[in-house]
Structure 1
Amino acid sequence: MSDLFRSDNVVVRSVPASDLSRWVVTFDNYGIGHGFDRPGFGEEFLRNAGISAIHVMGVREDWYQYPEMPAAMQAVRQATAGAERVMTYGSSMGGYAALRFADAAGANAVLAISPQYSIDPKKAPFEKRWLQDSQRIRWLPGIDGRIVCQVRPVVVFDPSKEDGLQIALIQRDIDIVPIRLHHVSHPATTYLGEVGLLKGLVLQTLSGELEADTFALKARRLRRTSGVYVSNLALNQPEHRRELALSLARRSVEVSPGSPLASMALAKLLSRAGRHDEAVEQFERIMDATNRDPNYLVPYTEVLFAGGRHPEALAHAREAVEAMPHLAHLHAWESALLWAGSENTAAVAALERAIALDPHRKRYRKLMRTYRREIRLHAIIRAKSVARRWIVRLARALSRTRTSSAALDQDADRGRGEA
């Protein structure tokens, strides 16, 4: 293992195997970790498979918008010179890079799973999943411009929602080998790993032996054995098919009893049906199994809140935010929960943290204006209520005074009569 290139932003790490005729160049997915003291994407799998690998690692989730990327790719190209097969490979953010740096890396194969065309709001205004990053990143035209790729990439994706729109943008620039897998969500890597197809996909794409239609057919035939697929199918059912959705969710847990994703789908659907105690029980098991993973704390908190268990929910919300304090949307989410729980001062403070982290988000500032307006309105209502109470008290006091005065006058009259 050695570093072929290193800067403050990028490390290119070589992990050669005995076979130097085939190389896989990987790119990090979102959330793999910050810094460089960590394994690269797919490192263990490729090492165990005896495949030489080069791992391109970004310092954080910047979608590789670094001016030194051409130099980093030149180092890759030099290290793999003379190899028979060079494949770029990545998932999600890594898939974005696998497409965009394939030519620079000298690749003759590309595997991109659930990639983005771009998350720049100007190019993909529908993309809301990484808004804080998309507004923070300085998008470089030489990297995030039109895609140019000499080879025909294999692209695996769920065509629904944002991923389908992203692939449509990719197809405007280049021709791809599309493998569409409905209801596997983002990224499709999770589904492929669960049904045992990921390793074969990587190896066959690298060798050039992949038959996309045959692979896609096999992947679809295995859907019913996947907790990921069945749980997503359950969550995507319309409201009038609530019982079917619950039935599918229970089926997903039976198919993958150890899958927190399947259990989470069932818990969410139980909560939607008003069966909050059952939903909480499901989530408590998930929390134990995942060591309180923050990604599951968020929906757990929402289930608690929906069930009217506000103090517990707010405590879990704080735990989730403290686990991922750099995410502005979590602070905004906590703020909304606090406001709904009538903790207005804390809600304003949480929203101020969100704005500090993501000052470009207009939605946060609009919400803050709503908060301020509501607080002023409540203050006016409280002031009027206090004034009304004082008026009532004063009227009562005056009434008592008049009554006492009248009684005294009557006593005086009686006294004069007796005299």
Structure 2
Amino acid sequence: MAGTEDRVFDGDLIRASLFNPDADRLFVTFRQRVNDPGTFSGASPVHSFIRHNHAHLHLQSRHNDWYINADTLEIAKVLRNLTSRYRRVSAIGFSMGGYAALRFSKPLRLRQLVAVSPQFTISPRLLPGDARYRDCADGFDDALGSLDATARRSLQGVILCDPFKRLDVVNAEMIQTVFPKLRICRLGGGGHPASRVLRQGGHFGELQTLLLSDEVDPARVIALHRTSRRESDHYWSHIAKVAARRQRPELAEFAAERADRLVAVAQAGRNPPDAS
């Protein structure tokens, strides 16, 4: 049954769950960094892909270790065998999950990817200027975690990043040197991960369904972001801060007022007046 979980890998540190296994195409997702690591989460299918004749594979790492651990090589073998039955494999991953999609791109036989604010590495030796994940990098194996050594270089798709998040742009550009067919989409004010505005605008589902096509169109992703930002208080709050730093007081005031109005509208929607 489509909604029944098939535990295809159940290691101490990595788990993989498969849904609707008899479909002819595969969609892959990954758990991103979590606030309370140490346990696995419940897995459930992405029904929008199940309805379009996709199997769904969900991977998760027990800890925030970027999937680089004692199970890494074994899960790669399982993925290599598993994905041979599917004619097309696509994926989406956020931050740590985006890195995992890149790291396992070859055994997954990954063809299309939406990577949202992924990392090239968390190694302090290889990228000393990015200290954001030092709490997770203890024991990170540079060789086992090397994207250059494990890349499926024909992988196509997009890397989403917020151009105001300098380190996310640095990582995206480093990734593109290894995966030359991935195109960078700069989504201003998107945050980390860079899909926050898309979620607020109600267009995240459309981002996912771009993977149902043969090619993810960067222009379409950017258009979805531009549509979403009109009604995103997160976007306008960010623009207000940037404008203030750049000494553009009129824009800062306009953006701050727009953000406040959107927050008020959202709060009113959550707390409608009592009609009694």
Q: Report the TM-score range of the alignment, normalised by the length of the smaller protein.
A: 0.7 to 0.9
Describe how 1:156-167 pairs up with structure 2 within 5 A: 156-160=160-164, 161-167=166-172
Q: Residue 89 in 1 paired to residue 92 in 2? A: yes
Number of the residue aligned with 1:114 = 117
Give runs of aligned pairs for residues 12-411 of structure 1, distance below 5 A.
Answer: 12-16=16-20, 20-31=23-34, 33-40=36-43, 43=44, 46-50=46-50, 51-134=54-137, 136-146=138-148, 148-149=151-152, 150-160=154-164, 161-175=166-180, 176-239=182-245, 240-241=247-248, 244-257=251-264
Any idea what SS the aligned residue of 1:111 has?
strand
Would the aligned equivalents of 2:123 and 2:142 in 1 still touch at CA under 8 Å? no
Provide the rounded CA distance (Å) in 2 between the counterparts of 1:218 and 1:237. Answer: 23
If you compute each CA radius of gyration, which structure gives the higher value, 1 or 2? Answer: 1
State how far apart, in whole Å, the 1-side matches of 2:35 and 2:29 are: 12
Deviation string, structure 1 residues 95-128 (Cα, Å, up to 9, x no partner) = 1111121111122222211111112112222212
Deviations 1:351-407 (A, max 9, x none): xxxxxxxxxxxxxxxxxxxxxxxxxxxxxxxxxxxxxxxxxxxxxxxxxxxxxxxxx
TM-score w.r.t. length of structure 1: 0.56
Question: What is the SS of the residue equivalent to 2:144?
Answer: helix
Judged with a 3 Å threshold, the aligned counterparts in structure 2 of structure 1 residues 11 and 258 are, in CA distance, closer, same or farther, namely: farther
User: Separation in 2 of the partners of 1:77 and 1:129?
Assistant: 32
Deviation at 1:7, TM superposition (A): 1.5
Give CA-to-partner distance per residue, 1:109-149, whole Å, 9 cap, x none.
22211111112112222212222222x13224132352622
Structure-2 separation of matches of 1:97 and 1:257: 38
User: Could you say which residue in structure 1 is the equivalent of 2:6?
Assistant: 2
- Give the letter for the 2:47 counterpart: R
Percent of aligned positions with the same letter in both sequences? 25
Counterpart CA distance in 2 for 1:67 and 1:15 is 25
* 3-state SS, counterpart of residue 204 of structure 1: helix
Q: Which runs of 5+ in 2 are unaligned?
A: 268-276
1:182 CA drift (Å): 1.3
Are the counterparts in 1 of residues 27 and 56 from structure 2 also a CA contact under 8 Å?
Answer: yes
Q: Which amino acid aligns with 1:174?
A: F
Structure 2 contact 121–145 (Cα < 8 Å) conserved: no
Contact 1:158 1:184 in 2 (8 A): yes
Q: Which has the higher contact order (CA 8 A, sep 6+)?
A: 2
Q: Distance in 2 between matches of 1:117 and 1:141?
A: 13
Q: Kindly tell me the number of residue pairs found equivalent between the two proteins.
A: 255
Please report how far the alpha carbon of residue 241 of structure 1 lies from its aligned counterpart in structure 2 after TM superposition.
4.1
Q: Which runs of 5+ in 1 are unaligned?
A: 261-419
Q: Is the 8 A contact 1:85 1:206 kept in 2?
A: no
Which one-letter code corresponds to 1:100 in the other structure?
Answer: R
When the two structures are superposed, what TM-score results if normalisation uses the length of structure 2? Answer: 0.82
Counterparts of 1:154 and 1:256, CA distance in 2:
31
**TM-align CA RMSD:** 2.5
The separation in 1 between residues aligned to 2:27 and 2:222, in whole angstroms, is 22
Matched residue type, 2:169: G
Letter in 2 for 1:248: A
